[in-house]
Amino acid sequence: MVAVADWIEARPEEAGISSQRLETLRRVVQGWVDERLIPGAVTAVARRGKVVHFETYGSMDDEAGKAMRPDAIFRIYSMTKPIVSLALMLLYEEGKFHLDDAASKFIPEFKDLKVFAGGTADDYRIRQPEREMTVRDLLTHMSGLTFGSMGGMRAASPVGELYARAGVPGIGTTGTLADTVRKLGQLPLQADPGTEWIYGASTDIVGYLCEVLSGQTLDRFLEERILAPLGMVDTSFYVPPSKLERFAACYRPSPEGKGYVLQDAPATSEFARPDGTYFSGVGGLQSTAHDYMRFCKMLTGRGELDGVRIIGPRTLEYMTVNHLPGGRDRADLSQPMFPGTPVQRGSGFGLGFAVLLDPAAAQVIGTPGEYYWSGAASTHFFISPKDDLAVLFLTQLMGMGPSTLGRDLRVAAYQALID
């Protein structure tokens, strides 16, 4: 097994980070483990292109008595979205589409989509949309698409109920992205494209566009254009039998309100099927801290890592500015996917990434222009271009973990910078 020290590339001080102050990050995460808020974790920090911190904590599988290992494989869920969004933008660079192209130009099933106009899932009205859905709408979650169910929760809208009843495929299910497209083509949109930020099925359609425009299945396209060039050897939609020993168990908070209980065992996981065919852009990838940090280092390298260019620097810059209408933040435009879902102020959304606009409004330390995203099993990463900083946190607890996870990680990381 690879050792933690093997993935540290420089001393923190060589990158303008205090080793002593960086201990705060270790203390915070270890505290979450000690309080049984999470089972275990891996954290990694890179600055100026070098990994200066890589640490493991706690357990990767309580039932099997396995301590967390540095090469553990995690369900990264929605942290799939930035990878798949960037993949589509590779095809943008090749002139395969324009962002204001109607999605129906490439997806005929979306040509006559209608919008939900009121009622219930059993008795509802529809109307014509104000305009067609565009590719940009899909990349920014402004498409009007929503979600049916996820992680045992059902969406709070009649349209979400229609998705669930129609069996719209989701993360880890059987079928293909084409099956999703066919079913969505028969259902109403939740809202007019371009009017509401709805965190739903949009990135599955981004993945399907990758397939249509490249002529390859999404798994092959990602492998050839991003994963293999970056050396992300353990990132895939399904964990092969040869790597199952490294696949972490996934937990959910205990119903009693303290600790956690098993949700998804590695051996029986929906992500351990050798014949899996649903390549979900919404949240289907499994990865390791080493692999995802390779992706993050490519981002801090303005699209290049170790002499391999994945995407042009101007394209990446364009992806990571706020694309929401009028420069507004997500809180002004958001519709919660599930009851009680919080909406953060002070952040907008680019083409596949959230973008920090105003740290004071967000009530979190950070640098304007920072971009980031999280996953349903409490994974998180953020990139600060101004600080040339990448921070990664991986665990396996459904429900987004400690309520202040993202803010605590930022405090611990940013306070350690000394230049």
DSSP track, 180-222: HHHHHTTS-BSS-TTT-EE-SSHHHHHHHHHHHHHSS-HHHHH
Helix (H) or strand (E) holding 119: strand 115-119
Nearest to 73 by CA among 269, 299, 326: 269
Q: Say how far apart CA 280 and CA 171 lie, in whole Å.
A: 6
Distance of CA 74 to the CA centre of its chain: 12
Helices marked H in 264-370: 289-300, 313-319, 330-333, 359-362
Give per-residue pLDDT as tens, 11-63. Answer: 999 999 999 999 999 999 999 999 999 999 999 999 999 999 999 999 999 99
Helix (H) or strand (E) holding 127: strand 124-127
Give per-residue pLDDT as tens, 245-262. Answer: 999 999 999 988 889 999
Residue type, 357: L
pLDDT band at 4, cuts 50/70/90? confident
Helix (H, G, I), strand (E, B) or coil at 104: helix
pLDDT band at 336, cuts 50/70/90? low
β-strands 74-75, 66-67: how paired?
unpaired
Domains and CATH numbers, the chain: 4-74+247-254+286-414 (3.40.710.10)
For residue 340, pLDDT over 60 is answered with: no
Task: List C-alpha distances in Å: 102 to 113, 122, 158, 215, 350.
Answer: 12, 30, 25, 19, 18
Residue type, 192: D
pLDDT of residue 342: 56
Written as six digits, the tokens of 387 are 């600080």
Q: Say how far apart CA 170 and CA 21 lie, in whole Å.
A: 42
Q: Say how far apart CA 42 and CA 234 lie, in whole Å.
A: 15
Across the strands, what pairs with 393?
43, 380
Helix (H) or strand (E) holding 253: strand 250-253
pTM: 0.96
Task: List C-alpha distances in Å: 194 to 147, 159, 189.
Answer: 17, 17, 12
Give per-residue pLDDT as tens, 388-419. Answer: 999 999 999 998 667 788 899 999 999 999 99
Q: Say how far apart CA 265 and CA 133 lie, in whole Å.
A: 39
